[in-house]
Chains A and B, each alone.
Chain A
Amino acid sequence: MKNTISNEELAGLVEPARLHKRLYLDPDIFELEMERIWGQAWIFIGHESQVPATGDFFSTNITHKIPVVMIRDKEGQVHVLHNRCGHKGAKLVESRDGNVRGAFRCPYHGWSFRHDGTLLKIPNEKGYEGTGFDPSDSCNNMQPVAQVESYRGFVFATLSSTAPDLKTWLGGAVDCLDNLCDRAPEGEVEVAGGVLRYEHECNWKFILENLNDTMHPMVVHQSVVQAAEDYIASLPASAAKQRSEAEIIPPFGSSYEKFEDSGITGFPYGHHYDGGKTSIHADYTVLPAYHEAMVKAYGEERTREIYSFNTHNTLYYPSLTIKTAVQNIRVVRPIAVDRFVVETWSFRLKGAPEEMLQRTLLYSRLINSSAGMVGPDDLEVYRRAQEGLQSSASDWVEFHRQYGRDQQLPDRVIGGGTSDLDMRTQYKAWREYMTGEIAQ
């Protein structure tokens, strides 16, 4: 695409503790973000458990426009291919998921492709004889995405052939993916219970900023916290005790001190999490049957260690955010400068009682559903920012909270739980991706 904005100009839009409103409003910047951030970072595609059998596929977009398909071949290998026919470019699959029996078959001229994307057959092929066309040339295949790697079943792909390997890119933030999987007695998770898709009429970065913004929950979610607390308190004790909602909703109203204690940790490439020693998910009841299965699998000490690493939200910048203690994830899919979709997926902890999955689904429904009582209030404030930032009153948005107090360790930055460290972490990465400081 045409580069109308110089690197110098881009760098000037993000200062150490404030950023320019164009990041939310300018369609040209959005296009550059798709090319330089979403086109270079490792983007979460899906989980291997979504394609358990030969030919099973899941399709999505890796940037706002580029359609890809994740598919399992008969050797069990999972591929991420461009969802584009090697002939005229038509998408090979249209459904979000399904099974490709035998081979992909283009609905236009019937070209077929193996599950690994290689061209299998062209109808009436003799018309190509002597024309210089070489059907064995890989340019006629469904093209693989430049790099594809999986970590404990989580499949990431990048359009960049020079991006660092996935493990390097995940860095210390990998601890959270490990903790999510370790919470399964069998050490593995699988997608279960379907997906919620939630359309957001605002810039994609608002949700990333909100994840570890611990100064907002007690304000934005005050109404539902009060509604839940007041009403549940009025119920007979025996009835109130049985309500999982009583554990899930009220912690959103936790005090500034509680959030401060949870801490925030930032990493290279923009990843960050809040919590660790504690989080708003730390006081959930441990089901006896689950605890028993965990102790049987890991022993008492290791089980305690797994529980005790309790994070709230972990962002793998820019596409994936996970909740280890809840076992759900949200995936960000940008569409335009003022529109994106969030997908909420829930996970089953293999070897755990089914009640654990039911609690995860209850959480996803109460908190992350477009018809829930938490997500819509978050979206409302993002939209107000999207609209308010059009104002000519100021060009800048600040993030000074605890600026200058971030503690730089060899592989990470740590700070207080109500710090804007998460903002500084992700916008440092934004600047590096956008101006080419991260190797291309």
Chain B
Amino acid sequence: MTEPVLTVEDLSVRIAGLHILQGVSFTVAPTGVTVLLGRNGVGKTTTLRAVVGLTPRGGEVHGRVRMGDQSLLERPTHRLVRGGLGYVPEDRCVFAGLTVAENLRLAERRGTTAAYDRVFALFPELDRRSRQRAGSLSGGQQQMLAIGRVLLNDNRLLLVDEPTKGLAPKVVTEVAEVLKRVAESVPVLLVEQNLAVVRRLARDAVVLAAGRVAWTGDAQELLSATALTRSLLGVGSAEGHHHGSGTEPGASASTAGPAREDAR
């Protein structure tokens, strides 16, 4: 087997006295999309944030996280990102008061035009709206911007947190399509609730439950085993309490989460 791009070993995170992660271990393959699954509040976002060094103040992190031969946990976030760890946060977090162009300019490091061409080829909308304030973009456009600014630089691994959350079904498809193309050149660790998107993108899956890894393996295999998805993710259960995955795993992106509106 090829060396994993990211190795997480025995990762524990405690925030404000709550043991959110209790010894999580998994690896991310050097190609394709690895998806991190689990019910709401299980620690998926906490995992990504711990990897990129953004655990909130007062939180304790233990364990080992390696990207290649590099140990990540002791290093400040900006060094990690400069070392090739791209991070697309939950809720997009574009700078609402800055223009699209400024949002991109902030992210650029060597700023070659080639990188801009690559991003604008993926997201022509960003080029057209470059003078518009990011806060006035639609949720889907903001998501494109959040992904686009990370792609301005070369990354060894992308961490992407719930990119389709709160987006209209049509936009969900677009975002998924973009991520699929991105994943052809750089490995992605994805947190995603929409199982249709997961089915479309993911090769490997890691399922968290109660702060621990409950299952790892082939994503498609997981999704085709209905009983397994039901027990691990609560999918298809009568409660239907967690958002965006109330439909059967086989549902297509266009019908997933019909109640969800575009954020803007």
Q: Do A and B come from one complex?
A: no
Q: Which residues of B contact A (CB under 8 A)?
A: none
Where the two chains meet, the residues of A that have a C-beta atom closer than 8 Å to any C-beta of B are: none
